[in-house]
Amino acid sequence: MEGSAVWQGAVLGGILLWLFSSSYLNLTLKLRSFLQPFVIHYVQTGTPILLKIQSYRVGFLDALFSVLSCVVSVPFYTAFLPLLFWSGHGQLARQMTLLMAFCDYIGNCIKDVVSAPRPASPPVRRVTATKDEEENALEYGLPSSHTLNTVCLSGYLLHYVLTHTQIQGAYINYFGVSLACLFVALVGLGRIYLGMHSLIDVVAGLFIGLGILGLWLTVYECIDNFVVSGQNVTTFWAALSFLLLFAYPTPELPTPSFEFHTAFDGVALGIVSGVQQTYHQFHHDNVPRLFSSEMTIPVFMGRMLVGIPTILIVKFCSKTLAKWTIPVVANTLGIPIKSTTYIPTLNGAKTGEKSKAFDVDTGIRFLQYAGLAWSVVDLVPSIFSYVNL
C-alpha cells in the first residue's frame, strides 16, 4: 500500500514539476523555434514528391485510401472498442483503449509544439471525403496521427494474437508481421496520396509510433495489473487525467487537437474506473467470448442492440449534466468562464476577459466521454447480466 502511494505521488508530482518548469522556461516556444523551420523546409521541398504521387490519381485509389483513412480514424476506434469489450476480449480492449489515449496525447502534443503546416493546397490536391477528415485537416501536420496510431495499434494487436492465442508458428509470425507492415505502408502512402501529409509527417509518425509501441510492450502488463487489482486506482487516474488537461502545449494557432486529447483523456478515465470496479464480475479472463457456445452471434447482436443506444443515452445525459453543473460550480467559486461550442450564452465577454476565462467546453467534453466510457464497461455489462445476454 505504501509503495503504491509513493510511486503514484512521484508520478503526479513529476507531472506537476514538468508543468511548472516548462511554463516558467517557456519550453514550447523554444522547441518550436528550433524544430518548426526544419520541418517547414522539408514540407515545402517535399511538395514535388507529393505531386508526383498524386499524378497517378484514379478513382479506385481515391476510394481505397479514403476508406483506409476512415478505418484507422479515431471515430472508428471509438465505435469499435466498445464492441471489443462486449465480445469478451477485455484485456485486449482495455489495452488498446489506453494505448490509443496515449498515442493521441503524445501525437497531438508534438503536433501543437511543432505547429508545422500540412502540404499547401493548392498545388497539392487534398481529398477530405468525410467530416472527420475535414476536422483532421485543421490540425497541424507532423506527425501523421493515422500512421502513428496504425503502427501502435496494429503492432499491439499482432503481439496479442501471437502471444494470447493458439495461432503459433514461424510462418504465422512472418505472415502477421508482413501483413502489419503492408497495412502501415498503405496507410502512410494514403495520407500522402490524399494530400493530408508530407513525407516527413509520415516518417515521423512511423518512428514515433515504433518508439511508443516498444515502450508499451515493455510496460503494458504492469499497467494492466494496476488497473485490475491496484490500490487507489480511480483516485490516481482521476488526478492523472486532470493534470494531463493542463500538461498540454499551446499551439501557434488554435486547432482541434486538444479537443481530441480531452475526449480520449475522459475515455481512459471512464474505462479505468469502470473496469477497476467490475473486473471480477464482467472483465476477468474467463468471461464468455464471441463464437463460443455461451456467446453466439445472435447473443452478440443482442448486446449491440442494447448497448449502443444505452451508451449514446449516457453520453447525452453526461453532457447535459456537465453543461449545468460546471458553470454553477465555476460561478460559485468566482471563476470567469467562457464557452465556444456547448453553451452559446457564455460565448461573450460578460463572463470575464476571454484571455483569462476558463473554457467550460473542456470540462464538458471530458465528462461526457468519461461517462460514455464508464457505461461501456460498467452500466451496459450490468444490463447484459440482468437480461441474460
Distance CA 193, CA 62 (A): 8
Residue 340 is given by DSSP the state: S
Residue 16 is given by DSSP the state: H
Contact 278, 85 (CB under 8 A): no
Q: How far is CA 302 from the centre of its chain?
A: 28
Contact 111, 136 (CB under 8 A): no
Between helices 2-25 and 233-246, what is the axis angle to 10°?
Answer: 0
Is position 197 annotated as part of the catalytic site?
yes
If DSSP codes are grouped into helix, strand and coil, which group holds residue 290?
Answer: coil
* Identity of the residue numbered 123: P
How many C-beta atoms lie closer than 10 Å to residue 231's C-beta? Answer: 13
Q: How far is CA 57 from CA 60, 68, 193, 194, in A?
A: 9, 16, 8, 10
Q: What is the dihedral of CA 327, 328, 333, 334, to 10 degrees?
A: 60
Main-chain phi, psi angles of 337, to 5 degrees: -130, 160
Catalytic residue among 89, 197, 261, 283: 197
Q: How far is CA 218 from CA 123, 135, 213, 266, 371, in A?
A: 43, 33, 9, 24, 30
Catalytic residue among 146, 159, 164, 280: 146
Q: Give me the active site residues, please.
A: 146, 197
